[in-house]
Amino acid sequence: MAALTFADLEKNLPKTTTPRWTVLVYKIKEKENFTIDKSNKEVKLNYLNNDIKGLFLKGNLKEIQTTYKGKVLFKGSNGVEYKLSDIFKSPDFGGGSGSGGGAEETERNESAQCLYAALVFYVYKKQITTKQKISKKDFTKAFEYCDTSEKFENMIDLPKDWHESSINGANALLKKFKNSRFEFHRGSSTVDLIESTFKRINGVEKAFGNLNKWSPADIYCFTTKGKDAVRTQITKATTLENLNTMMIKYYKSGDIVGVSLKKIAGAAKVSENNISDKKFTVEYTGETVVAANKTDIFDSMDVYINHTKGKIQFRSFGGTSLTGWQGEGKGATANQGKVSLGPLNYILSQHNIKKLPDSQVSARLAKAPNPAYYKEFYDACKKIQVKGLPKTQKIFEQRWKTKDDPWRYSKYLGVLLIERFKGLSKTKKDAVITDIFLYSASKASFAGPYMKLE
């Protein structure tokens, strides 16, 4: 089996116009195994950082090759980091028969969930078993209540696992919304109106790195009232707060229900997110700028903010490139998600706290510092009483010059973040770290409402 290459990813899947890089994105999203090196061991992969993830989601392979040439791009479920060339070209990537995958599979499966939901709501009017025989006539009748981006013929011939998953998901929706009169949408013009409204507002407020962080809904259930509300009210929202207020209102009334999907084996697990008025909180418990086993600030590029559920590590995850500064939640047993600089600055601004410099500013100063930069960096270190800090700014500058660019880029932003926290009351510290924690866990207090089926 040959190693996977960027040239492979740029090709289309057999008999389609869909590029093969969509398979890689799909397999990571669905937590499917990849074949690694000549030992043929199987591991799940995730992107090494959010910048790499963003480039893959956009299919920007040329920029990945330019920026990360010869570098690791992924982290395996076994803790090992991998380059693209460590992945072997399985049949999924077009090298023979396989399960397919990629964007076209996602479109089919999500659209099919709409069709199966319409079956139990309007054709059978009850929950059904996975052994139910479904005729094309029944599918055709159900399709009248759907507005999807996939062709009808592709949704009625699913693989066994997705057929069963779609039935399980449909049963869960019927159990939750038994008396509702829904249309089921995937990729429709009504869905586009919601998503374009979010993108317009987020382009100004820059609260989220992407749409899925605000709402990972794959399909929507609309009543007639809900569809009208999208056109007449949702699209007129001018702030995220305003948008979320309306989306929560119509979620609670059962008129606009966004649903996030996973493959379902057996009875579906149902959870509702970002709809409760009850406030979840964590408490700020301190910070770590210099680890206990380190001598001084120049020993490592990261800082930590500690809280009652764990801690959040802030550092650059961009390797030698001056990019990718973000926070990553650390729990007792596993990482808990990430928050990049843009959303972090949004959170700070929502609490009337001065934003951190943009990533590009910190990167530029790492290579071409000025007197104001040195003074700001050193004064912030003094304010937060950094362990082992040189007694004078001049000595600090001399030590700074011995460090590499990634340290300069990363530590500067980390120290300024800790300095921002230092002057806050305990109540404000708790509120800010709660918002950061919730965002990293994809449950931001300023995110949209959705139901998750898995």
Instruction: Write down which residue in 93, 125, 151 finishes a domain.
Output: 93
- Which residues have a Cβ under 8 Å from the Cβ of 62 and sit 6 or more positions away? none
Q: Are 83 and 54 in a shared domain? A: yes
What domain range includes position 111? Answer: 104-268
pLDDT, average across residues 281-285: 93
If one counts the domains in the chain, the total is 3
- pLDDT at residue 6, rounded to an integer: 87
336 occurs within a structural domain: yes
- pLDDT, one tens digit per residue, over 286-337 is 999 988 888 899 989 999 999 999 999 999 987 778 888 999 888 654 456 7
Q: Are residues 150 and 172 in the same domain?
A: yes
pTM score: 0.66
User: Are 188 and 310 within one domain?
Assistant: no
pLDDT of residue 278: 63
| 188 shares its domain with 228 | yes
Instruction: Compute the average pLDDT of residues 214-220.
Output: 94
Answer yes or no: do 238 and 292 share one domain.
no
Same domain, 138 and 24: no
| Domain contains 452 | no
> Residue 99: is its pLDDT beyond 50?
no
Are 423 and 173 spatial neighbours (Cβ–Cβ below 8 Å)? no
pLDDT of residue 56: 93
Task: Give the pLDDT score at 319.
Answer: 76
Quick check: is 273 in a domain?
Answer: no
pLDDT for 335 = 53
For residue 334, the model assigns a pLDDT of: 47
Give the Cα separation of 278 and 283 in Å (integer): 16
Is residue 258 one of the residues assigned to a domain?
yes
pLDDT tens-digit series, residues 233-274: 999 999 999 999 999 999 999 999 999 999 999 899 999 988
Q: Based on the domain organization, do 152 and 182 belong to the same domain?
A: yes
Q: Are residues 69 and 112 in the same domain?
A: no
Q: What is the pLDDT of residues 396-446, one digit of tens each?
A: 999 999 999 999 999 999 999 999 999 899 999 999 999 999 888 767 778
The Cα 260–Cα 454 span in angstroms is 8
Sign of the alpha-carbon torsion through 354, 359, 361, 364: positive
Between 346 and 97, the more confident residue is 346
Domain end (from 268, 297, 331): 268
Residue 13 placed within a domain: yes
Q: Are residues 223 and 347 in the same domain?
A: no
pLDDT band at 97, cuts 50/70/90?
A: very low
Structural domain ending residue among the three candidates 237, 268, 299: 268
- Is 279 among the domain residues? no
Cα 361 to Cα 408: distance, rounded to the nearest angstrom: 12
Residue 148 near residue 115 (C-beta atoms within 8 A): yes
Query: Is the confidence at residue 125, as pLDDT, over 80?
Result: yes
